[in-house]
Amino acid sequence: MLKLELLQAIGSSYYLSGKLSVGVYLNEANRTAVLIDSGPNAGIAKALDRLLRNMGYRVSAIINTHAHVQQYGGNHYLQENYPDLRVYSSELSAPFIQYPWLSHSYGAAETLLLEEEKVKRQVVVTDIISYEDGAIQIDGATFAIVTLPGHSPDMIGVITPDNILYGSDALFGKQTLLRQKLLYYSDIKGARATFNKLSASAVSSYVFNHGGYCTDISELVHDHLERLEQCLQDVEAIIRANAMTYEQIVKEVLLHYEIEDNSTAYMAISSIVRALLSELKRTKKIDCFVEKGQLVIEQSNVAPRTI
């Protein structure tokens, strides 16, 4: 197994090495650690906890940035090992972190691919953060909360006392951009606004879940904007060729980007396509209607036609 390390960003602000840069703020005054997300599973949370204990710290709080399992998968392990642990999340994320099966109720047919949860692990969110920019105090340290919608509607970022913005999944690192053509955003308009907000933020540097530490995000933001625009154009071109159903569009996108057949990729791409279609609809590039029991999507300003 890959040996995980705690990497220092600035001052008391750290992040975990490896695939996901879990955020850590070490409060030296009382030897407590505040985590920004808890990692994707109990194994990572356990490894991180061991690192912290070896350094003489105990975990006192987790701030969950949004309700994706990669961010809250370690909560259960830590909550079992620290009975007085505080778990913070936005008011929108809290129910999905506490009851992950709720997300099965949303989305389209692709949710049929989800396995029924065999073990319902109880995770408790102890502190709700209202969905607005503000500040919270934990163990005497002040953390600024910034709303970052786009990747998911409930996402927040956290600025530590070292003036570093932990931006969660608002931007992806260069390696991810090279590996993935399609980026996971549920709200394209929100994502663009968040990119601007991140760029305008008066912080010294950033840490992103997929990408780690960086001091200058201007090139990254430019690449994200360009990538989103390209994806919108690709989907629009698919629809321009033929009016088609949502599932046909998902299929064409999977083929266009040469994405392999598996249920995880299918569900992720389905969500991404839905977001891209919503943006094309919002900007009046496409229309949709129901015909013969099918949801048909077509380019705007053309006479309805049968698929």
Nearest-CB residue for Zn ion:
68
Buried b (16+ CB within 10 A) or exposed e, 260-299: eeeeeebbbbbbbbbbbbebbeeeebbbbeeeeeeebbbb
The residue whose two tokens read 């840069």 is 21
Closest separation in Å from C-beta 146 to Zn ion: 16
Distance CA 153, CA 80 (A): 29
CA–centroid distance for 228 within its chain? 16
Between 169 and 252, whose beta carbon lies closer to Zn ion? 169
**In the complex, least distance from residue 242 CB atom to Zn ion, rounded to whole angstroms:** 32
- Rule CB under 5 A: say whether 210 interacts with Zn ion: no
Interface positions, 51-110, toward Zn ion (CB under 5 A): 68
Q: What tokens does 22 get?
A: 């879990």
Q: Using CB under 5 A as the criterion, what x/- string covers residues 129-168 for binding Zn ion? A: ----------------------------------------
DSSP code at position 33: E
- Strands (E) across 1-65 are located at 6-10, 13-16, 23-27, 32-36, 58-63
Strand 156-159 versus strand 212-214 pairing type: unpaired
Integer-rounded Cα Rg, in Å, for the chain is: 21
* Ramachandran angles phi, psi of 99, nearest 5°: -130, 80
For Zn ion, which is the closer residue by CB, 103 or 278?
Answer: 103
- The one segment of 31-39, 169-177, 238-246, 275-283 that binds Zn ion by CB under 5 A: 169-177
Provide, rounded to whole angstroms, the least separation between the CB of residue 152 and Zn ion.
6
Give the residue with the Cβ less far from Zn ion, 158 or 286. 158
Beta bridge partners of 225: none
Residue 297 CB, nearest distance to Zn ion (Å)? 26
Total residues in contact with Zn ion, by rule CB under 5 A: 2
Smallest gap from Cβ 150 to Zn ion, in A, equals 11
Binding Zn ion (rule: CB under 5 A), the pick from 37, 49, 154, 169 is 169
CB nearer to Zn ion: pick between 169 and 298: 169
Contacts with Zn ion by CB under 5 A lie at: 68, 169
